[in-house]
Amino acid sequence: MPGKSKAIRILVDEQKHAQVKALAERQRYPTLAAYVSHLIERDLQAQPEGTPAARPVVKQLVADADPKPIRSLSGITNFLLAIDVGNTNVHFGLWHGAQDTEPGEWVITWRARTVPEKMPDEYAVLLSNFLESADLTFATISGVAIGSVVPRLTTTFVELVERYIHVEPLVVTHETKTGVRIDIDQPAQAGADRIINSAAVVALYGAPAIVIDFGTATTFDIVSPDGAYRGGAIAPGINISQDALVNATARLHKVDLLPPPCVIGTNTIHAMQSGIFLGYVAMIEGMVKRFKVAMHDEHVKVIATGGLAVLFNESTDAIDLIAPELTLEGLRVIYQMNR
C-alpha cells in the first residue's frame, strides 16, 4: 500500500505492537485502533479519489492493531451512510447498528477529494466503487445523514442519495434536532460541521468541552456546561497558512510540517518550521488558555479531531483526547435522534 506511515510500518513490518500501543496511550487515543486508523486516514488523504482498493488493507491493519473479529460485509444490510462534506475532503462512513451480541460500529470509511464541479452521477460512480470494494451495493444502505460546508455539493449529494439509494437523506442544518441548543447571535450562520461536532461531544463525552477541528480551517467550538453550542473561533488551517507564506515570498518554499530540532532555527527550513509549526502550536495553546479563562473552568476537557490532530497532539499538552471520527459520530447521533 503506498504512503504507509511510520506507525504502520512498525505494525506491519516489525510487529512492535507494544511500542505502538504505548505511543497511542501517550497520544491520549481511546484505543490503539483509533490511533492507527487516524494515521492511515491522514496518509490516504493524499491519494487520488480515496484509493478504494486500499480500504480492506486499512481495515485489516486496524484489526491487527486492536484484535477483534472481522466479519465479511457481504450479506449485511441496513447500513447508515454518513457523508461529511468538507472543503478539502468528503468523508464517507458506514455504520452498522447495535445487535444483541455486538455494539454498533463504523465498519468502513473512505475519503475522496472535494470537487464542487462534480455531478451527482460522478460521485455516485465513486461511491459505488467504494461499496463494491467491500462487497456491498447501494441497496444495503437504509439511511443517509449529510453534513456539508460546501453548499454546491449539498444539493449534489442529496440528488445522488435520492436517485441511487432511494431514501430521503437527513441534511443537518441549524434547524435540525441535534440535542444541542445553538446559542450564538445568528444561529443560521453556524456551520454544519460545528453543530455536528458539538452534538457528538455532548452525546459521547459530555459537557462542557472545547472542540478543535483541524481541517482546511482550524475551528474551536465551545460547548457550555448545559450542552449549548456557544460559538468559538475560526483560524486559517496550517496548510493554507504555509501556502499563503510561500506564495507571497520569492525565496521561501514549502517545508514538512514538523517541529524543528530547536525553536531557534539556524537555517531557512528550521526557521520556517519554527514559525509555522511551533507558532501554530503556540496559537492552539494560547487559544485554549483564553477559552478556559472565558469559560471560568480550568479543567474543561479539550477534544481534537481532523486529519492533523495527531500531529499537533504530539507537541502539546493542551489536548486531552483525540476523536478521529467525531463528525461521523455526530451525524450518527443526530440521525438516530431524528428517526
Question: Looking at the annotation, which residues are catalytic?
Answer: 193
- For 131, 263, 308, 322, the CA distances from 238, given in Å and listed in that order, are 33, 17, 9, 18
Cα–Cα dist 113/111, whole Å: 7
Q: In the 8-state DSSP scheme, what is residue 167?
A: S
> In sequence order, what are the residues at sequence separation of 6 or more whose Cβ sits closer than 8 angstroms to the Cβ of residue 202?
179, 180, 209, 223, 227
R_g of the chain, CA atoms, integer Å = 20
Cα–Cα dist 91/306, whole Å: 11
Distance of CA 305 to the CA centre of its chain: 5
As to burial, measured by CB atoms within 10 angstroms (0-12 exposed, 13-18 middle, 19+ buried), residue 133 is middle
- For 167, 184, 212, 323, the CA distances from 177, given in Å and listed in that order, are 19, 16, 23, 22
Cα–Cα dist 213/303, whole Å: 9
> In sequence order, what are the residues at sequence separation of 6 or more whose Cβ sits closer than 8 angstroms to the Cβ of residue 301?
205, 208, 209, 210, 320, 321
- For 42, 101, 269, the CA distances from 95, given in Å and listed in that order, are 20, 16, 43
